[in-house]
Amino acid sequence: MRVVLLARLFYSGQTTHTVELARELARQGHTVALLSHGPCHLAAWTHACRTLEREGVACHRHARPGEALAAAVQLDPQILHVHSSDLLPLAAQVAAETGAPVIFTAHGLGTLRQPLVKKADRVIAVGPRVHQELCAGGVQRLALVGNGVDTDRFRPGKKGRTLQVAFVGRVDETKRRGLDELIEAVAMIPRVRLVVASNQRPSHPRCVAAGWLWDVAPLLAESHVVAGAGRAIREGMASGCVGLLLGSAYGGVVSPAALSRGRGGALWFPASDGDPPDRQSIRRDLVRLVQDERHRRALARWSREYAVRHFSLKRMAREVVSVYADALAERAAVG
């Protein structure tokens, strides 16, 4: 298939998702191009180009709407896959010119503010809460496809004797408290190291502020615990880390027992399920991981095995291609 991905690139898991999907689609034999229009972070765009051009993915960026439209039409896509809701109007114009179906991936809540979401040929939700919101909003042709990670690149490395916690993810106003409470929890525990890989650079003597890392695989390979939500948890588990669900709420340790309780579904780890972040609760969970090394090692092995079984990037790309095929078949039947 000839696939054009439309996305605005920022410091976010959405950018990582888009780049990883493009890379894997190309590896599976599809012709892929990435097209960006409008504001984006230059560092995110540079990272995408550097990563994708090695895989044969063409990258195009245009500031003017007419240039973006002309470039997209010239690519002659069979599929238009939109990852930023404000690019749906551009996708609709390209679809009118080329006849390509429009696929939209909703990476978070609130995308129904853009009315063209309901007019997409297919909508993909990356998690159950997003799926529920879209269903309630009347979106019909809807699929649920969770984030996939490269379990060959994200794998356990040499982990030191000092327990290292990695916080990975973009921090906004909804997640700031969680990071602050994590820092204070770590400050109460001797012999625990915290590295924060984020758009935020907190200043604290017990915290190493690494800034935003486009490649967090080396950090996670050497860490024992990953704190975050969504994609960060999947990447950390694939790297043999114990997961701490920390977003706008605190969901505790990712474990077989937690999954069996079924909060939000075994595969999804929603960031907003749980109680408000609290340093004492986080400290309690970290202390057990420090004191009970056998328990921590068993959880780390299970995390890696679970990620390999359920979080494969190859699997995610195949499910997305299946959505493409359904949209193409429907277009052909109508035409």
Are 210 and 219 contacting, i.e. CB atoms less than 8 angstroms apart?
yes
- Averaged over 304-322, what is the pLDDT? 95
Question: What pLDDT, on the 0 to 100 scale, is given for residue 272?
Answer: 52
**What is the per-residue pLDDT across 242-291, written as a single tens digit (0 to 9) for each?**
999 999 999 899 998 877 655 444 445 544 567 899 999 999 999 999 99
Q: Give the count of beta carbons closer than 10 Å to the beta carbon of residue 287.
A: 14
- Averaged over 74-98, what is the pLDDT? 97
Residues 230, 130 share a domain: no
Question: What pLDDT, on the 0 to 100 scale, is given for residue 335?
Answer: 66
**What is the per-residue pLDDT across 134-180, written as a single tens digit (0 to 9) for each?**
999 999 999 999 899 999 999 999 999 999 999 999 999 999 999 99
Share of the chain above pLDDT 70, in %: 96
Question: What pLDDT, on the 0 to 100 scale, is given for residue 125?
Answer: 95
Residues 75, 135 share a domain: yes
Residues 181, 113 share a domain: no
Task: Tell whether 201 is covered by a domain.
Answer: yes
Question: What pLDDT, on the 0 to 100 scale, is given for residue 273?
Answer: 61
CATH number of the domain that residue 253 is part of = 3.40.50.2000
Residue 41, pLDDT above cutoff 80: yes
Domain count of the chain? Answer: 2
Tell me the pLDDT band of 127, cut-offs 50, 70 and 90: confident
Q: Give the count of beta carbons closer than 10 Å to the beta carbon of residue 170.
A: 17
Question: What pLDDT, on the 0 to 100 scale, is given for residue 265?
Answer: 44
Range of the domain at 210: 163-310
Residues 123, 37 share a domain: yes
Interior/surface letters 301-325, b for 16+ CB within 10 angstroms, e for the rest: ebbbebbeeebbbebbbeebbebbe
Residues 95, 222 share a domain: no
**Amino acid of residue 164:** Q
Residues 184, 105 share a domain: no
Task: Give the pTM.
Answer: 0.91
Question: What pLDDT, on the 0 to 100 scale, is given for residue 266?
Answer: 44
